[in-house]
Amino acid sequence: MPLLACFFVSILFFFRVMQVQMEVQSALEVTSRELAVCLEEESTGDSLAAKTLFLKNMQGHKTALRYIRGGSLGISLAGSAFDQNEVYLKAEYRMELPVSVFWKRRLCLVQGAVSRKWVGWKGEREDTEDSWVYITETGTVYHRSRSCTHLKLSVRKVSGNTVKALRNKNGEKYRRCYKCTKQSAAGKSVYITDEGDCYHADRNCSGLKRTVRRIRLSEAAGRRCCSRCGGSGDSSAKAE
């Protein structure tokens, strides 16, 4: 009878091991999916951020934390990898059991979870009839690329004494911004962009900022395609 009782107890703790594995696997899969959304393609990732997020997802799994040696801190993600197109999380930990399960009281377990990084649509999908495009509040065109130079301004500070001799990428002179520059810029510092045609006395001028929204192409009625990032369209289209 004692031997039979020990056998059934061992069977019960075998299912406890399975429960711990299921809880760890659940936290691993949730963490890998969340990281896959945040990380860029070919990014090396951050093992510390992965461990922090994993510990957060383990908080509700009391059974696993009870039997894992060292609790949540006893789980190592040192073997994880983020440098390819996928997020691979590898968890290594030990379980301490109150009685032997098949003559073992300490089990070394390894589990993993893989999620492909989300990097958006590529290739021909960008040219579909209702793809995503980007607009500004006051612009008259829509942009197919979020990194278009009309949207991503390169602001630099120059001397007001030399700004009249400078030219933008299109060879145009810089004129005074009617919003923030009321007086002569001589002897002061002003701000310009490589693509713009104004110089600004205030770094926070609305002319140096872009409030960008992403919408469907079908919602951009009345706007022309940007000649810089759209690949075609009216060459005189302006985003400013």
Among 176, 173, 181, residue whose Cα is nearest residue 202: 181
In a domain, 161, yes or no: yes
Mean pLDDT, the chain, integer: 79
At which residue do the structure tokens 């829509």 appear?
A: 142
Could you tell me if 140 and 56 lie in one domain? no
* Residue 239 covered by a domain: no
Same domain, 108 and 213: no
Give 124-169 pLDDT, tens digit per residue.
444 456 788 899 877 788 988 887 877 877 888 899 888 889 998 8
- Is residue 7 situated within a structural domain? yes
Q: How many domains are contained in the chain?
A: 2
Q: How far is CA 40 from the centre of its chain?
A: 6
Q: What mean pLDDT comes out for the span 89-101?
A: 78
Model pLDDT, residue 24: 92
> Looking at the structure, do residues 27 and 80 belong to the same domain, yes or no?
yes
- Using an 8 Å Cβ cutoff, are 236 and 152 in contact? no
Domain stops at, among 116, 143, 176? 116
Residue 8 CA to residue 209 CA, distance in Å, equals 70
CA dist., res. 150 & res. 239, Å (int): 6
Q: Spell out the residues 6+ positions from residue 19 whose beta carbon is closer than 8 angstroms to its own.
A: 63, 64
Provide the residue range defining the domain that includes 145.
123-225
Interhelix angle 2-38/47-58, nearest 10 degrees: 130
Calpha distance 96→64 (Å, rounded): 11
Residue 233 counted as domain residue: no
Look up residue 24 and give its amino acid. V
**SS3 state at 161:** coil
- The reply to whether 94 falls in a domain is yes
pLDDT at 112: 92
pLDDT in tens, 190-236: 999 887 888 998 888 877 877 788 898 888 888 999 888 875 434 33
What's residue 207's pLDDT?
79
Return the higher-pLDDT residue of 157 and 11.
157
Look at residue 90 and tell me whether its pLDDT is greater than 60: yes
pTM of structure: 0.44
53 and 22 co-located in one domain: yes
229: CB partners within 8 A, 6+ apart: 143, 144, 145, 147, 148, 150
